[in-house]
């Protein structure tokens, strides 16, 4: 995802308004490697801007995704994750604590189009499931040090 300043340019150039809500979300997403859910972003945003609507968070995230500024990732459990890292990478998901880490494409075999089966492959998504280093310690396994679902 581009920087908040660059995004501001883009938005202006498309007669999209630079609302405080959008600016806040730009800054919260910038360089954010936590792969947050909409809800998670909403929680954080609400602290800086009480009254911001969850609907607006969804709205803005959807717009940014449509603009190619961030990707939506569905790991099949819980809510969709949002990732401002548009580089070619995959993901590791800890099944115990829910932590998500980037897996650089260079550390994984490169999967490309042309299966030769008539498919036109346009996207490849690789998800590694397992236990993160923290949860893999047999003794002090901590299945709750990251929230997997909504608590409330």
Partner DNA sequence: TTGTTAATTCGCATTACTTGCAAATTAGAA
Partner DNA sequence: TTCTAATTTGCAAGTAATGCGAATTAACAA
The smaller minimum CB distance to a second copy, of residues 13 and 107, is found at 107
Contact code string over 72-91 relative to Mn ion, x by CB under 5 A: -----------x-x------
From the list 23-31, 32-40, 48-56, 105-113, the region that binds a second copy by CB under 8 A is 105-113
From the list 16-24, 39-47, 95-103, 143-151, the region that binds Mn ion by CB under 5 A is 95-103
Query: CA angle 116-118-124, nearest 5°?
Result: 75
- Kindly state whether residue 44 participates in binding DNA, applying the rule CB under 7 A: no
Residue 92 to residue 94: CA distance in whole angstroms: 7
Q: Who contacts 22 (Cβ-Cβ below 8 Å, separation ≥6)?
A: 11, 60
Residue 25 to residue 80: CA distance in whole angstroms: 16
Helix or strand or coil: residue 62? helix
* Residues found near a second copy in the complex (CB under 8 A): 73-77, 80, 92, 94-95, 101, 103, 107-111, 113, 115-133, 136
């Amino acid at each position: 995802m581009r920087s908040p300043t660059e995004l501001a340019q883009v938005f202006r150039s498309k007669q999209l308004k630079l609302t405080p809500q959008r600016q806040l979300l730009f800054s919260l997403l910038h360089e954010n490697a936590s792969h947050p859910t909409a809800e998670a972003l909403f929680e954080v945003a609400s602290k800086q801007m009480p009254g911001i609507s969850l609907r607006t968070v969804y709205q803005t995230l959807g717009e940014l995704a449509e603009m190619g500024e961030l990707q939506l990732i569905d790991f099949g459990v819980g809510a969709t994750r949002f990732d401002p890292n548009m580089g070619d990478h995959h993901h590791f998901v800890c099944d115990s604590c829910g932590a998500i880490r980037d897996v650089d494409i260079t550390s994984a075999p490169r999967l490309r189009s042309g299966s030769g089966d008539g498919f036109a492959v346009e996207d490849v998504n690789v998800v590694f499931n397992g236990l993160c280093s923290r949860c893999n310690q047999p003794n002090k396994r901590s299945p709750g040090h990251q929230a997997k679902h909504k608590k409330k």
